[in-house]
Chains A and B, each alone.
Chain A
Amino acid sequence: MHRVFFGFEVRAPWEDEVLQGRKIEERYRHVTLAFLGNLSREKIEELLKQIPKPEMPLGPCAILDHTLLLPESHPRVMALHMEFLDERVLKFQKVLMQSLHRLDLGSDQAVWLPHVSLCRKPFSYELWQAHFVRLPCYLGSFHLYESVGELCYKPLWSYDVPPPFEEIEHRADIAYCVHGKDLQELYVHASMALAFQDPHFLTAWPCRPVLFSLEELVMALNEQIAKIDHLRGCPFKAVSFHGEVEACRQNLLKWDMIVDV
Chain B
Amino acid sequence: MPTILITGANRGIGLELARQYAAAGWSVLATVRDPKRTSELTTLPGAIEIFALEAAEQASIDALVRDLNGRPIDVLIANAGIPGQLTATPEEITREDFLEVMSVNAFAPLALATALFDNILAGDRRVVTAMSSLMSSVGSNDWGTQYSYRASKTALNAVWRALALEWTPKNIACVLLRPGLVATEMSGGRGMPVEESVTGMLKVVDGLTLADSGRLIGFDGLDVPW
Q: Do A and B bind each other?
A: no
Residue ranges of B at the interface with A (Cβ–Cβ < 8 Å): none
